[in-house]
Amino acid sequence: MRSFFLHTEIEISFVEQSKIVRESAGEVQLSVQLSRPAAEPLTVAYHTVEGSAASETPSGRHGDFRAIQGEVLEFQPGERVKQISLKILDDMEHEDDETFCVQLSDASAGAKITLASCLVIIVDDDQPGNLSFAARFIPVTELDDYAVVTVCRTGGCAGAVSVEYETSDGVAKEGHRYEKTQGTLAFKHGETEKNIKVKLLPAEPQPNENFCISIKNPTGCHLGMINMAVVTIDEDAEVQAVERILKQHLERRAEAFEPDFYVAGSDIWAQQFADAILCGGTIDDNGKYIKPSISSRCMHLLCVFWKVMFATIPPTDYCSGWATFLVSLCWIGVLTAVIGDTAGQLGCALGISDLVTAITLVAMGTSLPDLLASGTAVRDKNYADAGGENGRRR
């Protein structure tokens, strides 16, 4: 199934949708990544776009960052991540947080740009700032061990500040779906982001499970607009995709057989006779019907008597399998007697002693089918019959 999830084309994107940088930092590094390494050199152009932050101009106007136009980022074969470095300009004036964008364009080699823009937030570090969650709604999957919630410091980052945090129940309950988490988040001078980790507990997934986490009692600063976040636990998208594909695959295989395999009792017994009389084809892994070959039809004509005879064995649905067991033993006894009598007559006609006849003809007649079936199972890696032998070879 792994190949199903591989992209056929290379995707280029920023690693982050947004990046927070202090005004006094001097520069900011933005990461651009490829979905997989390219086999040949690949280039992508990038440029800056003004927002509330103004760019420095050649005429001497002081700005908040140094604009870039017409620059190209080049990925060599095997490389997946490259950095874009941008100059941030500092001043002594108190300002609100300002933003500008960096955009990707004109990818070469047929690559596709998925996340083409990254928002850069310049934080004025002349004030302590405000603390708030980066987002109000935080999605996680049922396979995640932790929910990671980011608290951002905006409007300044001067001095040390702190804030208390605590989780509370929603649809998801403490001790059942997550561990209660509380404490104090401390920001040092110049720090603009901190993460809160909440341990998720394994449980039977339920729709729309969520819990809340809030920040309160700030020290040295104020709370921002988003002081409560909702963590939603969703079913894992990849697991759902695999489940959906397997379900469709089984449905296609079931529809390819007439009548349906997944019935019980007399329907299966009747199907045994139909399969014994008719020369059917095979079904590949994708549920596609393959017509029988000429050799398969010839072998079917030779074996049709035995197929019909053994189709009289009841399915395992009858008498909890005892009917299958007893009738199979009877047919094995009959078959052994026929083989033994035939071998005796042949040995008598050819002048072969009874000992040689028993070893060569009777033993081969009763054991050779099992030997051939075992050899086929060893070569077939798709079924459990071959598991023991293949495992020993590895």
How far, in Å, CA of 41 to CA of 91, rounded? 40
pLDDT in tens, 92-125: 666 678 899 999 999 988 889 998 999 999 887 7
Between the CA atoms of 30, 35, 39 and 44, what dihedral angle is there, to the nearest 10 degrees? -40
CB 160 within 8 A of CB 189: yes
The residue among 168 and 204 whose pLDDT is bigger is 168
Please state the rounded mean pLDDT for residues 178-185: 94
How far, in Å, CA of 333 to CA of 172, rounded? 63
Which pLDDT band holds residue 179 (cuts at 50, 70, 90)?
A: very high
Residue type for 106, please?
D
pLDDT in tens, 207-240: 778 999 999 999 988 898 999 999 998 876 666 6
pLDDT of 223 reads 92
Name the pairing type of β-strands 161-169 and 282-283: unpaired
User: How many CA atoms, within 13 angstroms, populate the side-chain half-sphere of residue 20?
Assistant: 18
CB 234 within 8 A of CB 166: no
Q: Is pLDDT of 363 > 70?
A: no
pLDDT of 259 reads 45
Q: Is pLDDT of 185 > 90?
A: yes
Inter-CA distances, 341 with 345, 365, 366, Å: 6, 12, 13
How far, in Å, CA of 113 to CA of 325, rounded? 63
Q: Starting from the edge strand earliest in sequence, which strands make up the sheet with 71-75, in order?
A: 18-22, 117-123, 98-105, 42-50, 71-75
| Element spanning 112, H or E | strand 112-115
The residue among 166 and 269 whose pLDDT is bigger is 166
Question: 252-276 burial, b if ≥16 CB within 10 A, otherwise e?
Answer: ebeebeeeeeeeeeeebbebbeeeb
Write down the mean pLDDT value for the chain.
Answer: 80
pLDDT in tens, 323-359: 888 888 888 888 778 777 777 777 788 777 766 776 6
Which pLDDT band holds residue 380 (cuts at 50, 70, 90)?
A: low
Q: Which residues pair with 85 in a beta bridge?
A: 29
| Element spanning 162, H or E | strand 161-169
Long-range contacts at 259-265 (CB < 8 A, ≥ 24 apart): 264/315, 264/317, 265/315, 265/317, 265/318
What tokens appear for 219 in the block? 């020290």
Decide: helix, strand or coil at residue 154: strand
Domain 10-123 shares a fold with domain 127-235: yes
| Backbone torsion region of residue 220, taken as left when φ is above 0, otherwise alpha when ψ lies between -120 and 50, otherwise beta | left
Q: For the domain 127-235, what is the CATH superfamily, name and number?
A: CalX-beta domain (2.60.40.2030)
CB 234 within 8 A of CB 200: no
CATH of 10-123, one of 2.60.40.2030, 2.160.20.10, 3.40.50.720, 1.10.40.30: 2.60.40.2030
The DSSP line for 10-70 is -EEEES-SEEEEEGGG-EEEEEEEESS--SS-EEEEEEEEESSSPBP-TT----SB----S
What are the residue boundaries of the structural domains of the chain, listed by start? 10-123, 127-235, 236-312, 321-380
CB 53 within 8 A of CB 101: no
Supply the angle between the helices 266-277 and 294-310 in degrees, to the nearest 10. 140
